[in-house]
Amino acid sequence: MSITQQYLLDTYRARRLGEPAPPAPGAHDWQLVRELGDHRAFRAVVAGRPARGRLRTALSRWAYRRPRPSC
Protein backbone atom coordinates (compact mmCIF):
# COMPACT_ATOMS: atom_id res chain seq x y z
CA MET A 1 0.00 0.00 0.00
CA SER A 2 1.41 3.36 -0.98
CA ILE A 3 1.45 6.49 1.17
CA THR A 4 -1.31 8.03 -0.92
CA GLN A 5 -3.53 4.98 -0.57
CA GLN A 6 -2.98 4.91 3.20
CA TYR A 7 -3.80 8.62 3.43
CA LEU A 8 -7.02 8.15 1.46
CA LEU A 9 -8.02 5.21 3.67
CA ASP A 10 -7.31 7.23 6.84
CA THR A 11 -9.28 10.18 5.46
CA TYR A 12 -12.22 7.92 4.63
CA ARG A 13 -12.20 6.38 8.13
CA ALA A 14 -11.95 9.79 9.79
CA ARG A 15 -14.87 11.13 7.75
CA ARG A 16 -17.03 8.12 8.61
CA LEU A 17 -16.22 8.44 12.33
CA GLY A 18 -16.68 12.22 12.35
CA GLU A 19 -13.06 12.89 13.31
CA PRO A 20 -10.77 15.54 11.79
CA ALA A 21 -8.87 14.50 8.67
CA PRO A 22 -5.21 13.55 9.10
CA PRO A 23 -2.57 15.87 7.64
CA ALA A 24 -1.57 15.20 4.06
CA PRO A 25 1.70 13.34 3.46
CA GLY A 26 4.58 15.80 3.35
CA ALA A 27 2.66 18.59 5.08
CA HIS A 28 5.19 18.89 7.91
CA ASP A 29 8.44 18.07 6.11
CA TRP A 30 9.95 21.57 6.41
CA GLN A 31 9.11 21.70 10.10
CA LEU A 32 11.00 18.43 10.56
CA VAL A 33 14.03 19.78 8.68
CA ARG A 34 14.07 22.90 10.90
CA GLU A 35 13.80 20.79 14.05
CA LEU A 36 16.71 18.60 12.91
CA GLY A 37 18.84 21.70 12.39
CA ASP A 38 17.92 22.96 15.85
CA HIS A 39 18.81 19.59 17.33
CA ARG A 40 22.21 19.56 15.59
CA ALA A 41 22.93 23.08 16.85
CA PHE A 42 21.96 22.02 20.38
CA ARG A 43 24.25 18.98 20.21
CA ALA A 44 27.12 21.16 18.96
CA VAL A 45 26.71 23.61 21.86
CA VAL A 46 26.56 20.78 24.40
CA ALA A 47 29.76 19.32 22.89
CA GLY A 48 31.49 22.71 23.14
CA ARG A 49 31.60 23.50 19.42
CA PRO A 50 30.19 26.61 17.71
CA ALA A 51 26.56 26.10 16.78
CA ARG A 52 26.47 28.16 13.59
CA GLY A 53 28.80 28.93 10.73
CA ARG A 54 30.94 25.80 10.96
CA LEU A 55 30.58 24.86 7.30
CA ARG A 56 31.26 28.35 5.98
CA THR A 57 34.30 28.71 8.25
CA ALA A 58 35.71 25.38 7.10
CA LEU A 59 35.12 26.20 3.44
CA SER A 60 36.71 29.63 3.74
CA ARG A 61 39.76 28.10 5.43
CA TRP A 62 40.06 25.60 2.61
CA ALA A 63 39.46 28.15 -0.17
CA TYR A 64 41.85 30.83 1.10
CA ARG A 65 44.71 28.75 2.45
CA ARG A 66 48.16 29.80 1.40
CA PRO A 67 50.11 27.49 -0.89
CA ARG A 68 52.92 25.59 0.76
CA PRO A 69 56.40 26.82 -0.07
CA SER A 70 58.16 24.48 -2.45
CA CYS A 71 61.67 23.35 -1.66
* R_g of the chain, CA atoms, integer Å: 23
Residue type, 60: S
Mean pLDDT of 31-35: 90
N residues, the chain: 71
- The ranges assigned to domains in the chain are 3-63
pLDDT of residue 66: 66
What distance in Å separates the CA atoms of residue 56 and residue 47, rounded to the nearest whole number?
A: 19
pLDDT digits (tens, 9 = 90+) for 55-71: 777 777 777 776 666 66
pTM: 0.48
